[in-house]
Structure 1
Amino acid sequence: MLGSTGSIGTQALDVIARHPGAFRVRALAAGGSDIELLARQVRETRPEVVAVAVASGRDALASALGNDARGVEILAGPDAATTVAGLGADVVLNGITGSVGLEPTLTALKADSVLALANKESLVVGGALVTDAIRRADQLVPVDSEHSAIAQSLRGGRRDEVRRLILTASGGPFRGWTREQMASVTAEQALAHPTWSMGPVVTVNSASMMNKGLELIEAHLLFAVPVPDITVVVHPQSIVHSMVEFHDGSTIAQASPPDMRIPIALGLTWPERVADVAPACDWTQASEWTFEPLDEATFSAVRLAREVLGASATHPAVLNAVNEECVDAFLAGRIGFLDIVATVERVLDEHDGPGDSHLTPSLVLETEAWARARAHELLARA
């Protein structure tokens, strides 16, 4: 369980707790910002190993656990999560936020574990590094609600029958707003998502639609569907999580209330389902579902995502790295909301890409380092 104290991790542990005897937690990994929560998780799940990303995490966690630390190996440091990802567990749930999740993703696949992937950034920046590391069918199971919905819907037909994928987006808190209205948006407003409860980075990405851009890249890589055949539509109710349109005119959709425990549980047990994970839709009550086109002129992040896929193997890493730096700056009050995507676009325009060079982990790291440094230069002038 990578990212155990985050939004995905805590919900995954809730699924496990609700189904005693169905799962055994071998290892937990967390950043170390909430040692008390991590200690509580250790007491409840009794893992063999716990990894903390900060160097001081070993002593802090051991102190918080007291006598409960007996029999638990504690690892600390930036490579600790990667170490536990390679233990060979049946399933590795990667709920880490950000591209720092790439090495754990590759390590889990190399160890032949099933990878339940909630860390979309590792697939976005790793691209072919990740897809080439997959050793067998269904070794990588998507946990994002949209991609889980597509994977479920694809079971209704053959891949050669697919016409297009339809990614649904809630529209976030600024659906229908103009760019002028968004110029003065505050972090508090951006974090007030109308339908989902998520971590701060993902919530801001949802508000800017960058999350949907990353998900478009992820869908292309996961399902080998050409970018022009992936459509984004706005669905404010967040009940239909995505759809697959087949060439005979049929569309299969996956619908459920907005609760991440459903795709998380599927990630842990795919292709089987766990009973009573979350409440289903109440079909006895009148309801209305609406769908509308995405305003890509106002929310240009999806356009940028389409463009980077045709630019070079490292352009997606630039997109993600600069966005991460800009979201941090926005949440800290150093830049405005519209500056996030504007800065991403500027740095993308400056990136030449590696030409025909084969993508390697070191090339991804070098590209990210350059992109983050360039973003810092631009943000310092803001």
Structure 2
Amino acid sequence: MQSAADMRQVAVLGATGSIGTSALDVIARHPARMRASVLAAGGNVEALLALCAAHQPDHAVIAEPAAYARLRDGLREAGLDTRAHAGAEALEALVAGPACDTVVAAIVGAAGLGSTLAAARAGKRLLLANKESLVLAGELVIAAARRSGAEIVPIDSEHSAVFQCLRSCEAGGVRRIVLTASGGPFRGWDRDRLAQVTPAQAIAHPKWSMGPKISVDSATLMNKGLEVIEAHHLFGLPADRIGVLVHPQSLVHALVEYIDGSTLAQLGMPDMRTALAVGLGWPERIDSGVSGLDLLAQGRLDFEAPDPVAFPCLRLASDAMSAGGTAPAVLNAANEEAVSAFLQGRIGFLGIPALVEDALAALPAAPAGSLQALLDADADARRFTRQRIDSRTSIA
């Protein structure tokens, strides 16, 4: 039995989202060894209050300062001792301080960068589900983690799979890694069919339960492109040693090929709780609540190459990674704006890669030696993309 001093104190950022709720499910299965000490959410006060009642953290943070009073009063009315906070600065201070030793970074988009960097700089165990942090500022995050001794454990199922395969062998000897993609809901569609896609269709992922933005990224394959950039930073491999295969069953999450001809694969049911349990328990294996994989029941496993014509986002991400500097920040920002416009019905599905390509062409890569340079590139790309959206009544 662990003592209270040995218990893992976990900050769950993005607690009301799908990854956050999965993390809390795993944490609740191990009350003797870990607890949620900090819960953070965007603007859904009611959902955050419900989680506080269930998990009784020491601190609760709402992103929108205007919602602070509702959070504070709701905690008091519920008779909870949880302290209310609001805003990015408060969250970053909690993440960097003694309130936690482990951080589940699951805030969607560039909004998660500040808290991710704070955790990395403070030497915390960082369970990284916010891929945009590495896409936008991978060199800065990795450098900060190395300086502080922070341990980054990726929570994307594909990167968790690579992490597990690499940790099973001595360092070195890797020829390449291969990430798998489900292909999303439009696998096999051509551009004519994709032009008619609606937001409701795009967020209906066939395998994973995710938020709208991530679901659209999966449908365009931008999610996989961002994961390739993330893998480059996490595992230190160049683009030509990171491959992608479409695997519609989503049971093989990644493969690592070694120079001796061996290929190791990590398999499992498509459930984020497995990767979260790896991050929370590593190097031990702990119960995640996910059932084992019955290959006889699952049947065949299929693999195919992604279609670069119908789904150009994968190419655009690779181009941005090769360009380096601020290019990945431009890619990410333009994509976030384009996906938001698509979900609002302002542009068509094919308008997403078109807008990203326009932004990359208009804003060439510049050196990215500081966080401010990256944030400036992010702001420029958002401004450019919004202007492009506003200037046209219809974007494919």
Instruction: Say yes or no: TM over 0.5.
Output: yes
Counterpart AA for 2:181: A
Instruction: For 2:378 and 2:79, locate their aligned partners in 1 and report how far apart those are by CA, in whole Å.
Output: 37
- Shift in Å at residue 16 of structure 1? 1.4
* 2:138 alignment partner in structure 1: 127
Q: 1:59 aligned to 49, 57, 69, which one?
A: 69
TM-score by length of 1: 0.96
Q: Assess, with a 3 A threshold, how the Cα gap between structure 1 residues 48 and 276 changes in structure 2: closer, same or farther.
A: closer
Q: Bigger CA drift: 279-288 or 143-152?
A: 279-288
Q: Bigger CA drift: 357-366 or 39-48?
A: 357-366
Superposition pairs for residues 97-246 of structure 1, below 5 Å? Answer: 97-135=108-146, 139-246=151-258
Report SS of the residue matched to 1:292.
Answer: coil
Report SS of the residue matched to 2:103.
Answer: strand
Report SS of the residue matched to 1:285.
Answer: helix
Equivalent pair of 1:51/1:84 in contact (CA under 8 Å) = no
Counterpart AA for 1:38: L
* 1:367 alignment partner in structure 2: 377
- Shift in Å at residue 358 of structure 1? 4.8
Q: Assess, with a 3 A threshold, how the Cα gap between structure 1 residues 286 and 119 changes in structure 2: closer, same or farther.
A: closer
Superposition pairs for residues 65-84 of structure 1, below 5 Å? Answer: 65-68=75-78, 70-84=80-94
Q: Bigger CA drift: 156-165 or 113-122?
A: 156-165
Counterpart AA for 2:46: E
Report SS of the residue matched to 2:178.
Answer: strand
- Shift in Å at residue 335 of structure 1? 0.3
Residues 184-211 of structure 1 show CA distances to partners (whole Å, capped at 9, x for unaligned) of 1000110111111111110000000000
Superposition pairs for residues 264-343 of structure 1, below 5 Å? Answer: 264-285=276-297, 287-343=299-355
Counterpart AA for 1:338: L
Counterpart AA for 2:235: F
How many residues are aligned here? 379
Equivalent pair of 1:257/1:281 in contact (CA under 8 Å) = yes
Q: Assess, with a 3 A threshold, how the Cα gap between structure 1 residues 101 and 292 changes in structure 2: closer, same or farther.
A: same
Q: Assess, with a 3 A threshold, how the Cα gap between structure 1 residues 72 and 218 changes in structure 2: closer, same or farther.
A: same
- Shift in Å at residue 137 of structure 1? 6.4
Instruction: For 2:171 and 2:244, locate their aligned partners in 1 and report how far apart those are by CA, in whole Å.
Output: 20
Superposition pairs for residues 251-270 of structure 1, below 5 Å? Answer: 251-270=263-282
Instruction: For 1:84 and 1:31, locate their aligned partners in 2 and report how far apart those are by CA, in whole Å.
Output: 16
Equivalent pair of 1:265/1:277 in contact (CA under 8 Å) = no
Q: 1:20 aligned to 14, 31, 34, which one?
A: 31
Instruction: For 2:214 and 2:298, locate their aligned partners in 1 and report how far apart those are by CA, in whole Å.
Output: 31
Instruction: For 2:369 and 2:55, locate their aligned partners in 1 and report how far apart those are by CA, in whole Å.
Output: 38
- Shift in Å at residue 67 of structure 1? 3.4
TM-score by length of 2: 0.92
Residue 29 (str. 1) matches residue 60 (str. 2): no
Q: Bigger CA drift: 50-59 or 178-187?
A: 50-59
Q: Unaligned regions of 5+ residues in structure 1, if any?
A: none
Q: Assess, with a 3 A threshold, how the Cα gap between structure 1 residues 191 and 276 changes in structure 2: closer, same or farther.
A: closer
- Shift in Å at residue 348 of structure 1? 0.2
Equivalent pair of 1:62/1:69 in contact (CA under 8 Å) = no
Counterpart AA for 1:271: P
Equivalent pair of 2:256/2:263 in contact (CA under 8 Å) = yes
RMSD: 1.5
* 1:46 alignment partner in structure 2: 56
* 1:95 alignment partner in structure 2: 106
Identity of aligned residues (%): 47
Residues 283-311 of structure 1 show CA distances to partners (whole Å, capped at 9, x for unaligned) of 45361100011111221111111111121
* 2:6 alignment partner in structure 1: none
Instruction: For 1:195 and 1:185, locate their aligned partners in 2 and report how far apart those are by CA, in whole Å.
Output: 18
- Shift in Å at residue 138 of structure 1? 6.8
Residue 11 (str. 1) matches residue 53 (str. 2): no
Report SS of the residue matched to 2:172.
Answer: helix
Report SS of the residue matched to 2:78.
Answer: helix
Q: Assess, with a 3 A threshold, how the Cα gap between structure 1 residues 183 and 275 changes in structure 2: closer, same or farther.
A: same
Counterpart AA for 1:3: G
Q: Unaligned regions of 5+ residues in structure 2, if any?
A: 1-11
Instruction: For 1:18 and 1:47, locate their aligned partners in 2 and report how far apart those are by CA, in whole Å.
Output: 16
* 1:352 alignment partner in structure 2: 364
Equivalent pair of 2:158/2:253 in contact (CA under 8 Å) = yes
Instruction: For 2:201 and 2:244, locate their aligned partners in 1 and report how far apart those are by CA, in whole Å.
Output: 23
Instruction: For 2:364 and 2:384, locate their aligned partners in 1 and report how far apart those are by CA, in whole Å.
Output: 14
Report SS of the residue matched to 2:279.
Answer: helix
Instruction: For 1:223 and 1:93, locate their aligned partners in 2 and report how far apart those are by CA, in whole Å.
Output: 19
Report SS of the residue matched to 1:249.
Answer: coil
Instruction: For 2:113 and 2:150, locate their aligned partners in 1 and report how far apart those are by CA, in whole Å.
Output: 19
Instruction: For 1:37 and 1:222, locate their aligned partners in 2 and report how far apart those are by CA, in whole Å.
Output: 33
